[in-house]
Structure 1
């Protein structure tokens, strides 16, 4: 386990995690909410993300054997195994990310967002309330407790209407602060193909609008978004998400690692009719990344170029 830091450093896109977290902390301070117990629950998420060393959860058990980056393995049939989150041998030396344990699985923060008002319409069944019992020094036993979390205690946790609870849940800090965070299980699973992942996000038939921003705006968390007006190209792109090749991020030929510039990088944001906002990373050449997983996708050039031209011809 001594090489966990080196392995995690290979995973892409930590800057967005950091900038998103900083924004949350600064906003809370501006609102004067830092001094209240409830506000500290979600600020603890942001603080934990500030020290994350890469996409994915840092308490990842790197198993030995025929595996690739961070324990992720691509099988002969093209499917990819993403190992379950486990504690390293020395958890006190590892960094944390916001998480909730539900039905024995770990759900972590994601790149899908929703505001408080829209989230109320998606409330399904209450799972319970979080226990704030996980930090860098927690032992294995802490992770066996239902609704153990690193985001503080007393947050209401719900399943979401229209979404598989085995994939997505949400936590409310309400009514005092009116905040909500979505958590997804993207570990301990096998992704058969790109459709297997993207159909969970409910994109097809539900995109109301799409927008994008450049690398610099994304990296510095500037709200400088540009609308994509061509709905046919947006729909064609969404359809193309369901038929892509999958790659492991640790592969040597990883296009994401060398593409952190305004010419080759775009963040694409879909606003769905249920209020969720899904963020994807697009890299010139047809490459796509979602959330904090160690995998990425390659789209057919004709489909990808249609929307890419919309984002570079400003």
Structure 2
């Protein structure tokens, strides 16, 4: 087995008497998307800053390895493996998109010819070639975000930290960004994603950790997280009133919807529970006309784990979120 792209144990950070990260553990396999969810002020950005070597953890934190390098002893080597795209664009609006890219190439000490080659390839890849010679100030929000990520990729990082990369984007631009992230992972890049958009984490992440008040409240796949909160159920609908009544009699723990001829049974959606329901129907000699499984979504998980703090709704509004507090 290969080492994980990121491994942190007992990660702690305080500012004065404010504990921002209270001993969290994070493990991110290579070529996956790991999403850190949490309300404003939960500590997401602080975690990114520590893992990307921008901020030091508190004494007493456990070992932190990024790209196979221990941050305590070999931070420079770790930096060579990573790229960071923050909440707010690093694009310089006074120069062109191409000039922004070439500036990054210079900062990575690429030769003039190599810098121009990489710049041309990335501008084409991110559908920015036509606008390359225009001032970045004229770009739309989605174009600036694509340029921002393209600039991050100039150095060929194996690990990319994306801190709320789609904040303020319209739904179309957000979906375009999702496709870019999927392509990066397919190419072998590891993506550490912080977001408040629950749909975004559900769509992209291989694993999700919910951070609340400086601690990991829960971690798992999206489906695993959805199973830890109540509210899942199986819905059985019938067209024959007699079959409905027979099913209701055999499934005594079901709630009834007589008008719709439907029954609802609490369930975690697992194969075992579904088989048990079907076995009970078979024993009664009844067949449902429609069976649907309803599990809690990430909204329910977020509310349950973070004390009811409202998550962002990307398809309800195109307005940007308020940034996290200055100290996180």
- The alignment's TM-score, normalised by the length of structure 1, stands at 0.28
Bigger RCO (CA 8 Å, 6+ sep): 2
Greater Cα radius of gyration, structure 1 or 2: 2
Structure that is richer in helix per residue:
2
- When the two structures are superposed, what TM-score results if normalisation uses the length of structure 2? 0.27
